[in-house]
Structure 1
Amino acid sequence: MFLGHVAWDEYRVKFLASKGFNEKEVAEKIKNNEELKIDEETQEVLENLKDRWFQADNPPADQLLNEEEFLSFLHPEHSRGMLKFMVKEIVRDLDQDGDKKLTLSEFISLPVGTVENQQAQDIDDDWVRERRKEFQEVIDANHDGIVTEEELEEYMDPMNEYNALNEAKQMIAVADENQNHNLELEEILKYSEYFTGSKLMDYARNVHEEF
């Protein structure tokens, strides 16, 4: 192990420990190359994380991430190379016909959750309406009914003005208790956890849910 670097196995141990696995037991099994008995969902998340880990490992690849590489791994949307990788992941997940582009129906096909009652149905309906508006009015820049990887990358770029304005509106809507369209110090402090946990886009939040 090198000072100032994080190895994949070290991160894997901490990740599984955060999911309730015994840290010492996991570390020992990884050290001895023994099979880890983990559920299918956690295994899938680990595989996706490993792909992103190696993507963040800049040449020459040494399977160790320094501080800059680790930040790219944690926040791929802030790294140009990792942003491209994240866009490809999203398109891969939603693209049903394999053309590496997204139609409106593909874009809104990602469910919020299982609909079990009318309230949940209303939430899902609202989600679909918002995603449709987002697709048609913002992401599909040339309005041809198709979103390319380039258009999605432009939309997901944190420097995109729409993202900053949209997030600011959401933050004010949540914290502006007196409805004066301004945030007082008391409101900011009360909702500080919401602000520090804020993400630019719902899907980006899903990408980071393993942390």
Structure 2
Amino acid sequence: MASGKSVLCSVASIYLSGFCVFLMVDVYARPTNNSAVKREKPGARLDENEIQPPNHLSGLKLEKGGVLNKDFHQEVFLGKEMDEFEADSEPVRNRKKLIAIFEKVDINVDKKISASEMQRWIMEKTEEHFQQANEENKLHFKAVDPDGDGQVSWDEYRIKFLASKGFNEEEVAEKIKNNEELKIDEETQELLDNLKDRWFQADEPPANHLLNEEEFLAFLHPEHSRGMLKFMVREIIRDLDQDGDKRLTVSEFISLPVGTVENQEAQDIDDDWVKERRKEFEEVIDADRDGIVTMEELEEYMDPMNEYSALNEAKQMIAVADENQDHYLELEEILKYSEYFTGSKLMNYAQSVHEEF
């Protein structure tokens, strides 16, 4: 994606990829001082990132509102090692790490990576993202379930959410208990309304208006739940569908909705950005190549554990660096195209191959 043009939506829809509150709402917006309730209590502030859907969901191809995840290739190739590559600017160390990854992917030790080997690796790294989200969710659920009964009501969550935004938790709890009006600024209220929709969507049938730890995971990470995955898809369709037919044409997919940064700078959108979205639509998402993406096609595309999508992604990744066009990746090719796979550009890639082998 062209530099400077991949700014994420100002936020929120799903991501999905986001994957995930709702478009045109600032996830990190602080309430304004017009609230009589707002009076921050020192030492009682929760981290808002612990109790609301993250701004970015690793391992998903689309961000909130349908924006392509520019880091997807690195996320599914590096997994947990991605942070190490981002933090380490030393080419020699990163080269050795990349060589070590190559050897792990090359399970038959023939010194080249096939599409099936890359597919297996992508699925493994995606599962790694799932495990990390599960581990974090255990801690985050405790933040909203202080009494430890294993269930959280919407009102309990709402109190913790507003406390994370700087409102006095005790005062908010008292007003909710007495069914009194909460004087909340418009932006925070809009975000809260959107979170409420998402909250009840995560309440698996038979709905009891309470979320357990597993349902709370679906609330924070919709990619873990088939039902929430469908919800994410509906939100993306809603945000991008201009004619209301609940399907997407390529023109709808390459034109983000009003309110996004990309739309505001429409005159400056690079041809490369448009080409990338068009290519993704035509070659990957539109499975039957009829020029229309249905909700079912988008759901399959969005499903991070879809083996067919993982194989398709593996073939795409190989094609990027497959200079000799033998449909395999050799170490020299991966090192030469290291920036695509890791975000780090390595120098003297050919020399490094000779040093290692």
Q: TM (normalized to structure 2)?
A: 0.43
SS of residue paired to 2:261:
coil
* 1:117-166: CA deviation from partner (whole Å, max 9, x where unpaired): 89x935x6544332222111110111111110000000000113168658
1:62 is the counterpart of 2:208: yes
Aligned to 1:136: 282
SS of residue paired to 1:96:
coil
1:51 is the counterpart of 2:220: no
Deviates more, 1:148-157 or 1:68-77: 68-77
Deviates more, 1:52-61 or 1:137-146: 52-61
SS of residue paired to 1:21:
coil
1:88 is the counterpart of 2:234: yes
* 1:85-137: CA deviation from partner (whole Å, max 9, x where unpaired): 2111211222121111011122222265167889x935x65443322221111
* CA 1:44–1:2: 2 relative to 1, 3 Å: same
Letter in 1 for 2:275: R
Aligned to 2:268: 121
User: What count of residue pairs does the alignment treat as equivalent?
Assistant: 177
* CA 1:145–1:71: 2 relative to 1, 3 Å: same
- Percent identity over the alignment is 71
* CA 1:114–1:28: 2 relative to 1, 3 Å: farther
Structure of higher RCO (CA pairs closer than 8 Å, 6+ residues apart): 2
* 1:20-40: CA deviation from partner (whole Å, max 9, x where unpaired): 333333333222222223333
Which structure has the highest helix share of the two? Answer: 1
Letter in 2 for 1:172: F
* CA 1:64–1:87: 2 relative to 1, 3 Å: same
Separation in 1 of the partners of 2:339 and 2:164? 30
Q: Is the 8 A contact 1:87 1:153 kept in 2?
A: yes
Equivalent of residue 253 in structure 2, options 107, 114, 125: 107
Equivalent of residue 310 in structure 2, options 161, 167, 179: 161
1:173 is the counterpart of 2:342: yes
Q: Is the 8 A contact 2:339 2:345 kept in 1?
A: no
Q: Is the 8 A contact 1:78 1:157 kept in 2?
A: no
- Gapped runs of 5+ residues in structure 2? 1-146, 318-337, 351-357
Separation in 2 of the partners of 1:30 and 1:121? 47
Letter in 2 for 1:82: M
* CA 1:126–1:27: 2 relative to 1, 3 Å: farther
Letter in 1 for 2:346: N
- Structure label with greater radius of gyration: 2
* CA 1:23–1:101: 2 relative to 1, 3 Å: same
Equivalent of residue 33 in structure 1, options 179, 182, 188: 179
* CA 1:32–1:102: 2 relative to 1, 3 Å: same
How far is the alpha carbon of 1:79 from its aligned partner?
0.9
Aligned to 2:291: 145
Deviates more, 1:108-117 or 1:141-150: 108-117
SS of residue paired to 2:299:
helix
Q: TM (normalized to structure 1)?
A: 0.69
RMSD, matched Cα: 3.2
